[in-house]
Amino acid sequence: MTAVATMAKSGSNNKRAREEDNAEVVVGDENPPSTLPEIQERIKQLIARIPSKEETAKLSLDDIPAMERWCKTVRRITRDYNLSLNFVAIANYQWEPDRPGHTGQSLGALRNQIQLSTAQTNIVSNHIARVLTPSLDTRLHKKTVIEKPNGEKEETYEYAAVINDPEMLQLNREQLCDEAIYKRQLVVSTMNQMVLCMDDYQKAEAGAAGAETSRFSMAY
């Protein structure tokens, strides 16, 4: 899936020109983002892929395959989301001494929001991991004894991976069904908030750049 995003004009005169104003760029599964507007577009794509509230409400212990499909979908989305956030530092790089003071404060706020956002999605990811990848033990499954014509016996052992704690797995599944609506909303809200935070940062950056330009234009 691909989408077209319109890149906003860079607010800082000191920032390296990595894009052209109002240029159209393609962002998608095969095209990683490289600017903040592209990262925002990528996050919006991922939000659109989150299972619906109705589908989430139907999760039940009576349909484990459906539960696992839901988990795999959300796990993929949160992984892609956290991966996309790693591009923020690359897209927003500027040598610190050249960065206006107010912009530096805004960048710190953006970084703090990214850390909080990652922590929130990890709450969901960790629960999903306990459902999809429970701890396993290797145990003897079958022992076969073959007696050869010369009277010797040959023993063959077959081992199988079994769930270490079935009761804990059942508890994790029950908890997921009970909390799925809330955890889905946590992911949706967190990702929407990140898009808004990036908007606020870009506005603050543009404002700081404008103030800096005004200050120099008044110097004589």
Alpha-carbon distance values, 193 to 26, 165, 198 (Å): 23, 37, 9
Reported confidence tier of residue 97, pLDDT bands at 50, 70, 90: low
Write the DSSP string, the chain.
Answer: -EEEEEPPPPS-SSS---S-TT-EEEEETTB---SHHHHHHHHHHHHHHSPPHHHHHT--TT-HHHHHHHHHHHHHHHHHHHHHHTHHHHHT---GGGS-HHHHHHHHHHHHHHHHHHHHHHHHHHHHHHHHS--EEEEEEEEEEEE-TTS-EEEEEEEEEEES-HHHHHHHHHHHHHHHHHHHHHHHHHHHHHHHHHHHHHHHHHHHHHHHHHHHHT--
Which residue in this structure is represented by tokens 């990683």? 32
What is the model's pLDDT at position 151?
A: 78
Tens of pLDDT, residue by residue over 11-23, are 444 444 444 444 5
What's the token pair of residue 102?
């107010």
pTM of the model: 0.75
Indicate the residue type of 94. Q
Residue with tokens 């606020």: 200
**Residue predicted with more confidence, 47 or 146:** 47
- Angle value at C-alpha 114, between 111 and 115, nearest 5 degrees: 90
Tell me the pairing of strands 153-163 and 136-147: antiparallel
**What is the structure's pLDDT at 6?**
45
Of 130 and 24, the structure prediction assigns the larger pLDDT to 130
* Cβ-Cβ contacts under 8 Å for 24 (sequence gap 6 or more): 4, 5, 6
Q: Would you mind telling me the total number of residues written for the chain in this entry?
A: 220
For strands 2-6 and 24-28, give the pairing. Answer: antiparallel
Q: Which of 160, 107, 154, 156 is nearest to 136 (CA)?
A: 160
Q: What is the pLDDT of residue 12?
A: 45
Of 3-17, 26-40, 199-213, least confident by mean pLDDT is: 3-17
3, β-bridge pairs: 27
- What is the C-alpha separation between 83 and 125, in angstroms, rounded? 13
pLDDT at 20: 43
Span 111-140, pLDDT tens digits: 999 999 999 999 999 999 999 999 888 888
Per-residue pLDDT tens for 171-203?
Answer: 999 999 999 999 999 999 999 999 999 999 999
